[in-house]
Structure 1
Amino acid sequence: MSKIVKVYFSPSNTTKKVVEQIASNFDDGSESYDLLNFNGEKEFPQDAITIVGMPVFAGRIPKSGRERLEKLKGNNTKAIAIANYGNAHVTDALLELTDLLKENNFDVIAAATTISHHSIFEGVALGRPDSADIEKIDDFSKKCIEKIKSGKSLESEIPGNRPYVDYKQLPFEIKCDETTCAFCYDCVSICPEKAIPDDDPISTNLDLCSRCTACISICGENARSFSGDAFEAKKPEFEKANSERKEVEFYL
């Protein structure tokens, strides 16, 4: 089988883990494109197999992740589309992802919505993906391998609506504890929106910030976190509303 190409936008590393879990079921070598860091043009050959993972931000794939993915083109290249979310709502994200891949000349052969621990509200989907999820993901991966061998494209209808739901900017603030911050500037370098000044990692331009959580996830000192009245008010409401377990879903 052809080389596996892993493509993901994964600010808190959860989408990356799902993509890597799928890739682990293939025997071939692989290469990776982390769209938090890679913002260039690339065309993939026809004989590659791409596994493309995007998180769900309020029912859409992230705007900056989309802009970077738009620069990656296929050559009738086989693709598996993954929308990874925190047990809340997928809405139009998977449909948007499959549409974009098709527009960029990828042959989408399968798609999935997978669930990971919520990156903003820590009380939602704790421990996901768990062993039951992994078992289902591995089974899906094996079905993808068979689908590729058959030469067939995606046959299932992907849920969602066109036009997609509008992008939504969350009102949550992000604080950085200056007494804890090590001034390593990792948050500055990883921010896809360039919302953290090069010379001041304590500050965050909330007008630019997409609340993607990359700066929070990468901070080894746990100095960065969500804060503010809007976040504190939403947290218990959101965690209660999304406490019921949702399951991974697959489309072949």
Structure 2
Amino acid sequence: MSNVTKIYFSPSGTTKQVVDQIAGNFSSEKETYDLLNFNSAKEFASDDVVIVGMPVFAGRIPKSGRERLSKLKGDNTKAIAVVNYGNAHVTDSLLELVDLLKENNFNVIAAASTISHHSIFSGVAVGRPDESDIKKINEFSKKCMEKIESGESLRSEIPGNKPYTDYKQLPFVISCDDMLCAFCYDCVSICPEKAIPDDDPIDTDLDLCSRCTACIHICPEDARMFTGEAFEAKKPAFEEANSERKEPELYF
């Protein structure tokens, strides 16, 4: 089988986990492009296979992830498209990802939406992906391998709307506890929006910040967090509204 490349934008690490799980079913050599760090042009060959994972931000794929993915081009390269969300709403994100890959000359053979522990509201989708999710992801992977061998492209219609839903900026505040911060500057290095000043990791420019949570999840001291009245008010209502279990959706 052709070489397999993993491509993902995964601020909290959950989308990476799903892409890794899919890729683990393939025996081929694997390259990785982490779009939190990789922001360059790249063209893939016609005999490559790429697994592309994106998180869902309020029904869309994140702007920074989209911009970086747009620099990656295919040559009728086979692609598996996956969006990963926190049990709330997929909305237009999977359709947007599939459309973008096709525009960049990738041959999408399959697509999926998967569920992981919510990156902002900790009470939603706790423990996911769980054993049931992993089983479905593995079944999806095997079906993808069959489609690669058969040469078939994606036939299923992907749900969503055009134009896509507007991007929404969450009003939540990200703060840093200066008593906990070790000034390691990991948050500065990983922030895709350059919203944390090079000389002051305690600060966050909330006008630039996309609330992607990368800085929160990379912090070794747990010094960065969501705070403020808007977040505290939204948390219980959001967790109650999204408590009913959703399942992965697979498209071939």
For the aligned pair, the TM-score class normalised by the smaller chain equals: over 0.9
| Cα deviation code 1:21-45 (max 9, x no counterpart) | 0000001110000000000000001
- Structure-2 residue corresponding to 1:112: 112
In the TM superposition, residue 113 of structure 1 has moved relative to its aligned partner by 0.2
| Cα deviation code 1:162-204 (max 9, x no counterpart) | 1000000000000100000000000000000000000000000
- Structure-2 residue corresponding to 1:43: 43
| Normalised TM-score (structure 1) | 1.00
SS in 2 for 1:243: coil
Does 2:96 align with 1:76? no
In the TM superposition, residue 16 of structure 1 has moved relative to its aligned partner by 0.3
One-letter amino acid of the counterpart of residue 42, structure 1: K
| Cα deviation code 1:45-69 (max 9, x no counterpart) | 1111000000000000000000000
Question: Mapping of 1:51-66 within 5 angstroms?
Answer: 51-66=51-66
- Structure-2 residue corresponding to 1:198: 198
Question: Which sections of structure 2, spanning at least 5 residues, go unmatched?
Answer: none
Does 2:127 align with 1:127? yes
In the TM superposition, residue 82 of structure 1 has moved relative to its aligned partner by 0.2
**1: CA distance, partners of 2:93 / 2:222:** 30
- Structure-1 residue corresponding to 2:95: 95
**How many residues end up aligned between the 2 structures?**
252
**2: CA distance, partners of 1:44 / 1:17:** 23
**2: CA distance, partners of 1:16 / 1:44:** 20
- Structure-2 residue corresponding to 1:219: 219
Does 2:4 align with 1:20? no
Question: Which sections of structure 1, spanning at least 5 residues, go unmatched?
Answer: none
In the TM superposition, residue 118 of structure 1 has moved relative to its aligned partner by 0.2
**2: CA distance, partners of 1:140 / 1:207:** 39
SS in 2 for 1:193: coil
One-letter amino acid of the counterpart of residue 147, structure 1: K
| Normalised TM-score (structure 2) | 1.00
Structure 1 runs of 4+ off > 2 angstroms? none
C-alpha RMSD of the superposition: 0.3
SS in 2 for 1:123: coil
SS in 2 for 1:234: helix
- Structure-1 residue corresponding to 2:140: 140
**2: CA distance, partners of 1:150 / 1:122:** 41
In the TM superposition, residue 8 of structure 1 has moved relative to its aligned partner by 0.1
- Structure-2 residue corresponding to 1:162: 162
**1: CA distance, partners of 2:96 / 2:189:** 28
In the TM superposition, residue 220 of structure 1 has moved relative to its aligned partner by 0.4
